Amino acid sequence: MAPVPLPLVPFPAHIDVRRGPAFDLSGAGLSADPDAATALRSLVAARTGLDLPDGDGIVLTVQDGGPAESYVLEAAATGIRVTGADAAGLHYGVQTLGQLIRRDGDRWAVPPVRVEDAPRFAYRGVMLDVARHFHDVPTVRAYIDRAASLKVNVLHLHLSDDQGWRLELRSRPELTATASATAVDGAEGGFYTQDDYRAIVAYAASHHMTVVPEFDMPGHTHAVSLAYPGIAEAPVTDVITEGAIPVEGEPYTGTAVGFSSLRVHDEATYAFVRDVFAELAELTPGPWLHFGGDESHGTTPEDFARFVSRASAVIADLGKTPMAWHEAGAATGLAPGTVGQYWGFVTPVDAAPQHARGFADRGGRVVLSPADAVYLDMKPTDDAPLGLTWANGATSLERAYSWEPADVVDGLPEDAILGVEAPLWTETVATLADIDALVFPRIAAAAEIAWSPATGAERTWESFRTRVGGLGPLWTSLGVRFPALAEVPWTT
């Protein structure tokens, strides 16, 4: 029988498991950069109850040299040293160290290892839809904690949809004044003040995560139509195959998609686009602004292409990199360098790959979010209480793990792949407990695919499920209410 792998997810690029005694955590001291010290102290306290005093034993430092976000971790009975090539790398080394802590008789210990680690992809994201159900700042913080612990470095916030507009803008006050109070199925809405948003961005940054904000358009804009009716088309209801029919002028609390659109031939629309993205650019330190572009079923292809050209140019003119769902790749006037987000299937069934290649053809790169593998809002099992099933039915952990980014879009070279993102749409997700129930453990699969080398002795489903099972006690100690999927041999 193969030895049980250490419970490391994502699995490191290189690891050398050594023989010999383990490092004893009780009585150990810590010498570290302040941010890394805080991160390790709270991780150790949560997992073991131990308090790490200043002193000898564990040394955490940043030392320039290696690739971005990389680190080296050496653990022996005599001491532990984690060296990051940058602050992010050190932070990831600390997460790996947290996963290595284990019970050893009546003490807490770290096994002797040497890890040399760096990410495969620069963009390792998760998304949270705060439009279908609003999620408050503490919930977003908790989501950031969870994602950052798995070396995820992007938080994509889906800030607007038919059901609500969730960010206060000084230039367009009616958006939150009239279009933020409601959510799906009569749930309470809400919005972020600019200070709330800044607080989220800062909290993400302190966890080495970049926020990618999205205002979805030209479709998914029924909420905009409540605030600024002059720039919106009437709902096109004959495209609705499922979900409640929207009523012009009334908040939408159903879950249908594709029926709304901004007026594409009206300059007032582009004044709106400029206002909202200019203000968003000011509030957002990261390089990407996402303008949506998905499921504009009521808009002709010509009109859609016209809108995409204009909106992407607005964002590029602001000095930001536009980002959009893959449909926008059909528009020949797309701003050069726009990043595309592929949400077709692992084995594509439609024009999605062609659209994704459209971004690369214009010098942009692609983030892969294949819906039947990484859509965290899909049910994990047929009988799961929460979640959707449109992406090939329930998505098992095994299916979430068993795909290779370079094999999804034919003709897209690996250097045109910016990374991987796992979105959580929230039609069925109202609370942090709901988030945990759908996100875990599948977020671990997305994180490993985004971080770890494509191949390796431990890059197998059998190893992965064992390692995920070994993380159960850590997740429990961090307050994550993950579902105990039968696919995983959970350690108790």
Point out the residues that are catalytic: 295
| Sole binder of ligand TNX in the list 39, 217, 257, 262 (CB under 6 A) | 257
Could you say which residues in the range 165-194 bind ligand TNX, by CB under 6 A? none
Q: What is the 3-state secondary structure (H, E, C) of the chain?
A: CCCCCCCCCCCCCEEEECCCCCEECCCCEEEECHHHHHHHHHHHHHHHCCCCCECCEEEEEECECECCCCEEEEEECCEEEEEECCHHHHHHHHHHHHHHCEEECCEEEECCEEEEECCCCCEEEEEEECCCCCCCHHHHHHHHHHHHCCCCCEEEEECEECCEECECCCCCCHHHHHHCCECHHHCECCCECHHHHHHHHHHHHHCCCEEEEEEEECCCCHHHHHHCHHHECCCCHHHCCCCCCCCCCCCCCCCCCCCCCECCCCHHHHHHHHHHHHHHHHHCCCCEEEEECCCCCCCCHHHHHHHHHHHHHHHHHCCCEEEEEHHHHHCCCCCCCCEEEECCCCCCCCCHHHHHHHHHHCCCCEEECCHHHHCCCECCCCCCCCCECCCCCCCCHHHHHCCCHHHCCCCCCHHHEEEEEEEECCCCCCCHHHHHHHHCCHHHHHHHHHHCCCCCCCCCHHHHHHHHHHCHHHHHHCCCCCCCCCCCCCCC
CB of 463 to ligand TNX, least distance (A): 29
Nearer to ligand TNX, 86 or 295 (CB): 295
Residue 159 binds ligand TNX (CB under 6 A): no
- Rounded Cα distance, 328 and 334, in Å: 7
CB of 214: closest distance to ligand TNX in angstroms? 10
Report if residue 345 touches ligand TNX, rule: CB under 6 A.
no
Q: Does 425 bind ligand TNX (CB under 6 A)?
A: yes
Please report how close the Cβ of residue 327 comes to ligand TNX at its closest, in angstroms: 8
- Number of residues interacting with ligand TNX: please give it, by CB under 6 A: 10
- Which CB, 8 or 323, lies closer to ligand TNX? 323
Under the binding rule (CB under 6 A), the answer on residue 487 touching ligand TNX is no
Please identify which residue in 191, 228, 343, 401 interacts with ligand TNX, judged by CB under 6 A.
343
The answer to whether 403 contacts ligand TNX (rule: CB under 6 A) is no
Burial of 134 per CB tally in 10 Å (0-12, 13-18, 19+): buried
Residue closer to ligand TNX by CB (options 257, 447) is 257
Q: With binding defined as CB under 6 A, does residue 388 bind ligand TNX?
A: yes
Using the rule CB under 6 A, is 291 a contact of ligand TNX? no
Using the rule CB under 6 A, which residue among 117, 295, 421, 448 binds ligand TNX? 295
Question: Residue 216 Cβ, how far from ligand TNX at the closest point, in Å?
Answer: 8
Q: Closer to ligand TNX at the Cβ: 143 or 375?
A: 375
Q: Which is nearer to ligand TNX, 291 or 325 (CB)?
A: 325
Nearer to ligand TNX, 119 or 353 (CB): 353
The sign of the torsion formed by the CA atoms of 99, 104, 106, 108 equals negative
294 lies in the site for ligand TNX, by CB under 6 A: yes
Least separation, in Å, of the C-beta of 132 and ligand TNX?
Answer: 6
Q: Which residue, 151 or 166, has its beta carbon nearer to ligand TNX?
A: 166
Quick note: the x/- pattern for ligand TNX over 2-31, rule CB under 6 A, is ------------------------------
375 binds ligand TNX (CB under 6 A): yes
Between residue 298 and residue 337, which ones bind ligand TNX under the rule CB under 6 A? Answer: 325
Residues 6+ apart with CB under 8 A from 190: 134, 136, 166, 180, 181, 183
155-178 burial string, b = 16+ CB within 10 Å, else e? bbbbbbbbbbbbbbbeebeebbee
Q: Which is nearer to ligand TNX, 25 or 418 (CB)?
A: 418
> Applying CB under 6 A, does 71 fall inside the site for ligand TNX?
no
377 binds ligand TNX (CB under 6 A): yes
Query: Which one, 117 or 294, has the nearer CB to ligand TNX?
Result: 294
The distance of closest approach from Cβ of residue 356 to ligand TNX in the complex, given in angstroms and rounded to an integer, is: 13
Please report how close the Cβ of residue 295 comes to ligand TNX at its closest, in angstroms.
5
Binding stretches for ligand TNX (CB under 6 A)? 257, 294-295, 325, 343, 375, 377, 388, 425, 427
